[in-house]
Amino acid sequence: MSNAVPGKSRPKYLSLPALLFEIRLPLPGWVSILHRISGLLLFLSLVWLLFMLDRSLASEPGFDAMRRYAGLLPVKLALLVLVWAYCHHFCAGIRFLFLDLDHGVDKATARLTSVIVFAASLALTAWFGVRLW
């Protein structure tokens, strides 16, 4: 009655630790995953950033309060993560636009553009981070 082939193993459902530590994802795959994560991070932080902007533009005491708030170490680190997210999302987005136009689809070029995206986003993050601190 059953159509299953005897001895055939069932499909393995992968967990997050398996995806992170057991499977060797190529560099363009990491760029793609981090592009999605950075976009989600930017979207979720929008309320916090708009709150800070609203408070700083409302009055002069509000601006001074936001200046003191932005000077705290955890806030600076969070802003640095958001700067990285923006830089990575921007650089990877340009790469994906070129991929949509069928430029850089071969394996060697895809790997090279992935390295360029990582290097450019980290360099931009370092430059903006120096200006932030």
DSSP H or E stretch at residue 130: helix 107-132
pLDDT digit string, tens, across residues 24-35:
788 999 999 999
Contact criterion met (CB below 8 Å) for 92 and 35: yes
pLDDT digit string, tens, across residues 54-111:
999 999 999 999 999 999 999 999 999 999 999 999 999 999 999 999 998 999 999 9
59 is a domain residue: no
**What total number of domains does the chain contain?**
1
103 phi and psi, to 5 degrees? -110, 125
pLDDT digit string, tens, across residues 117-132:
999 999 999 999 998 8
7 is a domain residue: no
CATH code for the domain of 121: 1.20.1300.10
Angle between helices 60-70 and 46-58 (to 10 degrees): 140
Domain that holds residue 115: 25-44+73-132
The encoded tokens of residue 67 equal 């200046």
83 is a domain residue: yes
120 is a domain residue: yes
Q: What is the pTM of this model?
A: 0.79
Contact criterion met (CB below 8 Å) for 40 and 89: no
